[in-house]
Structure 1
């Protein structure tokens, strides 16, 4: 009974978010409050439990990077990159989109897709303003590219970190098994954007000529400040990359980096905090509590138990179920808490298979969770963060505006991933 009630509240909240008639932060806070009052969440444990509680690592990673990005913005670096990108594309919209997607997809595996989005989206807004075109299609394309590109490494997408830790998979394991299909999917995705966003590619020769006459170096407001910011940012990136060696959570690295950057740049704390996307952070907080209700009442575990009972002795069927199931469920429940909940269940299924037969299940699980992050506007952290930044700059992206593109990309990438898993591990 409690599981049905928790699922009903979550489903109603999700539908209200999709209609966009009420602010999504209000919806998740009210839904989280109702779940808590009805005893559907673990109570005070929601603040402390790693399995059933708020994922503070995600929230503090976002908070730290928001501070870092806010300080870097003061240097004029985003304007510099915007002019540089516009000039290299010669003002051609599709060429510019491809360039921004490639930058996003290459950076995401090493910075993690949330950090990459926080760096790329402000640049996109500036360059599109320069060219007098809407940045919305470009931001949507970057979000989709970040979730695809981030799937290729251990640190590129938060679900991969969870899966790698649970399965004992290394950074190199992800490179070998995930990168080939990620590259193929990304190439197909780039070609697909030519069709999906075809109405947005309106070339303005006058604006392009103006851009070509600009000097990007003049955009830098303070060279000394920029140098200090880049040094700290480089150290933060190194900290992310050495996660498996240092055993320090990315959230800790981001928070230390934010503190060091505030010190070395002598930025005004009050001004920097105004750049923080509090709206996005509070939304995640409420969403995590809602998902904790599904975990606490056994909704997600019931799905996993069914999978164990049904597919324990059928590796290909188990991999197929995990891949498509993760893509669908990850799109609705946010792929971070979903992955954290399902990882122990996948481990149980793998343990019941003969030695060596279980590893493909982990890759199917990772591909489904990562690519499912493109399914809806709230399916992954990068989606929520990017849409929040866009809204702050006056470029609102609605739930359905994103989702209608995300569903297409998710279906295509998931089918391609299934073919890859089948050909590589079962033929």
Structure 2
């Protein structure tokens, strides 16, 4: 069964990477193989916390997609697009930097998937107004979201898993992760113009047209906007306080979506039009395939090899976990990877006498998995969501277009993170 799970995943991943068939078909086909051949049964595929579909992720996405679908009816995305373009004086480079900074900060306060769902429609409209291709801007934003989401406990799903397994608190994440994330974002901002050179050509008349627009006229329904604002504020409060109120973010999103649908009076066709069904199905198929790798021990074996290779040396363990986590998280999605690696890191941390060095293992796992999510188009949930939005907006992003940029940013962020870990926890720890 191990060979079946591994071969199925490799074949499906190859089809996704080469785009020989649509990624959703490849993921669902792979899921059908592991289910049909009995690698997973229905209980393991649909109800198991370790090997099944992560319904928290799927339903969180579903709820936020409905909220965004209702919010789109207000015209607020058009308003924000015009506002951002005018504040950037119509310069595409400044627009990209402004939107990526907003995305990174929002991803730390919310989660990166929710942020991508909210910022992507704005980006598409900005680029449409300026007459430039939106794909480079969308890629830059999702890269920024994965970096910014690393700053807090709630910013990225792998962080929540690490916090749960390690006992590290929200304040611990602020103290240890936020400084390196701020540094990484500064480096990222400096790299952006060169990484996406050739994507900023815009006609002067387009800039003049944008600067002449009145963003206030874009709002079509102020009453609905107020209702959406109240619901979104409640939803975001629920996200931030979920550890205190003991209500999962997926439930918060679904409750918010249900309330907004009722009080908005919008038609089903309006709010359901924003649901990325193909993206949700892709996630389901990917989770099942990765679940087969988890059940058959493939992921655990790879993680154990990395842990055993350290030879009991804390610094070597920290750096190895950082690099291995970045690579594996970029290939198999960082959520199931961290879920599988966390027990091994806990065991390894228990063998280290110095508590500072032991905690460094957890920060290494977090940084590697969060930043490694940028490596490929399927490395993080936000990446998959962004590609789905881009395709629906008529500006498709190929697996390799994303991965060429993402691999560069992953290499840079890991190269910056490695000396940070050494300096903070070993040289001056």
* Band the TM-score falls in, shorter-chain normalisation: over 0.9
Deviation for aligned residue 1:355: 4.9
Q: Provide the C-alpha distance between the structure 1 equivalents of 2:203 and 2:354, rounded to a whole number of angstroms.
A: 60
Task: Tell me what 1:160 maps to.
Answer: 159
Task: Tell me what 1:278 maps to.
Answer: 277
Secondary structure at the residue paired with 1:311? coil
Q: Provide the C-alpha distance between the structure 2 equivalents of 1:132 and 1:274, rounded to a whole number of angstroms.
A: 25
Aligned residues of 2:52 and 2:287 also touching (Cα < 8 A): yes
Stretch of structure 1 that moved more, 239-248 or 93-102: 239-248
Deviation for aligned residue 1:42: 4.5
Deviation for aligned residue 1:337: 1.2
- Alpha-carbon RMSD across the aligned residues, in angstroms, is 1.1
Aligned residues of 1:121 and 1:389 also touching (Cα < 8 A): yes
Aligned residues of 2:131 and 2:202 also touching (Cα < 8 A): no
Aligned residues of 1:323 and 1:367 also touching (Cα < 8 A): yes
Task: Tell me what 1:151 maps to.
Answer: 150
Aligned residues of 1:67 and 1:272 also touching (Cα < 8 A): yes
Q: Does 2:297 match 1:304?
A: no
Task: Tell me what 2:317 maps to.
Answer: 318
Task: Tell me what 2:182 maps to.
Answer: 183
Q: Does 2:289 match 1:290?
A: yes
Q: Does 2:416 match 1:416?
A: yes
Task: Tell me what 1:81 maps to.
Answer: 80
Q: Provide the C-alpha distance between the structure 2 equivalents of 1:295 and 1:191, rounded to a whole number of angstroms.
A: 39
Stretch of structure 1 that moved more, 6-15 or 404-413: 6-15
Q: Provide the C-alpha distance between the structure 2 equivalents of 1:210 and 1:306, rounded to a whole number of angstroms.
A: 58
Deviation for aligned residue 1:3: 2.1
Report how many residues are paired.
426
Q: Provide the C-alpha distance between the structure 2 equivalents of 1:392 and 1:104, rounded to a whole number of angstroms.
A: 20
Task: Tell me what 2:370 maps to.
Answer: 370
Q: Provide the C-alpha distance between the structure 2 equivalents of 1:401 and 1:61, rounded to a whole number of angstroms.
A: 27
Secondary structure at the residue paired with 1:51? coil
Stretch of structure 1 that moved more, 41-50 or 293-302: 41-50
Secondary structure at the residue paired with 2:395? coil
Task: Tell me what 2:56 maps to.
Answer: 57
Secondary structure at the residue paired with 2:177? helix
Aligned residues of 1:312 and 1:349 also touching (Cα < 8 A): no
Deviation for aligned residue 1:312: 6.0
Aligned residues of 1:68 and 1:257 also touching (Cα < 8 A): yes
Task: Tell me what 2:396 maps to.
Answer: 396
Stretch of structure 1 that moved more, 411-420 or 312-321: 312-321
Deviation for aligned residue 1:204: 1.9
Aligned residues of 2:34 and 2:40 also touching (Cα < 8 A): yes
Aligned residues of 2:306 and 2:324 also touching (Cα < 8 A): no
Task: Tell me what 2:346 maps to.
Answer: 347
The one-character-per-residue Cα deviations of 1:241-286 (angstroms, maximum 9, x if unpaired) are 1122112111111111101111111111233112200000000000
Deviation for aligned residue 1:9: 1.5
Q: Provide the C-alpha distance between the structure 2 equivalents of 1:200 and 1:302, rounded to a whole number of angstroms.
A: 42
Alpha carbons of 1:155 and 1:312: their partners in 2 closer, same or farther (altered >3 Å)?
A: farther
Q: Provide the C-alpha distance between the structure 1 equivalents of 2:331 and 2:406, rounded to a whole number of angstroms.
A: 12
The one-character-per-residue Cα deviations of 1:46-86 (angstroms, maximum 9, x if unpaired) are 21111111100000000000000000000000000001011
Aligned residues of 1:114 and 1:382 also touching (Cα < 8 A): yes
Q: Does 2:426 match 1:426?
A: yes
Structure 1 unaligned blocks of 5 or more = none
Deviation for aligned residue 1:351: 1.6
Aligned residues of 2:111 and 2:155 also touching (Cα < 8 A): yes
The one-character-per-residue Cα deviations of 1:297-345 (angstroms, maximum 9, x if unpaired) are 0001112332343336211111111100000000000111111111112
Structure 2 unaligned blocks of 5 or more = none
Q: Provide the C-alpha distance between the structure 2 equivalents of 1:16 and 1:394, rounded to a whole number of angstroms.
A: 22
Task: Tell me what 1:219 maps to.
Answer: 218
Residues 73-112 of structure 1 aligned to structure 2 (within 5 Å): 73-112=72-111
